[in-house]
Amino acid sequence: MSKNCQHCDAPNPEGYFNCPECGKRASEPLWTINTIIRDTSMARAIRQDKINFGSKDMGEHMNEMQKKNKLASNKRLHNSVKWDDSPVTVKS
């Protein structure tokens, strides 16, 4: 951390958040929003655009995801069953 203000180069030995001379932020931020988002459990979903912020409300998003997950689950179940597609002849 710098001991001088990033804007006016006034000394800031106490390490105050705001500069005592100009009143602006004394030093550069240590973290960015991107750094914080990458460290959360939702990071993978955000990077893969599974969550579309700003265009849907949460209820609509949840309903769409439930429908999508149900279709995917049904497809996996259908594919996991070995279907006998051979023709069946019945002798009488």
The 10s digit of each residue's pLDDT in 42-60 is 666 555 555 556 677 778 8
Is 52 inside any structural domain? yes
Is 70 inside any structural domain? no
What's residue 71's pLDDT? 93
- Say whether both 19 and 37 belong to one domain: no
- Say whether both 45 and 55 belong to one domain: yes
Mean pLDDT of 84-92: 76
Is 16 inside any structural domain? yes
Entry pTM: 0.33
- Say whether both 13 and 35 belong to one domain: no
Q: Which domain holds residue 36?
A: 31-65
Q: Between residues 50 and 90, which one has the greater pLDDT?
A: 90
Is 85 inside any structural domain? no
Q: How many domains does the chain have?
A: 2
Q: How many CA within 13 A on the CB side of residue 53?
A: 6
- Say whether both 10 and 21 belong to one domain: yes
How many whole angstroms from its chain centre is CA 63? 19
Q: Between residues 55 and 81, which one has the greater pLDDT?
A: 81
Q: What pLDDT band is residue 90 in, cutting at 50, 70 and 90?
A: confident
Is 59 inside any structural domain? yes
What's residue 66's pLDDT? 94
What's residue 20's pLDDT? 85
Is 10 inside any structural domain? yes
- Say whether both 39 and 26 belong to one domain: no
CA distance 4 to 33: 24
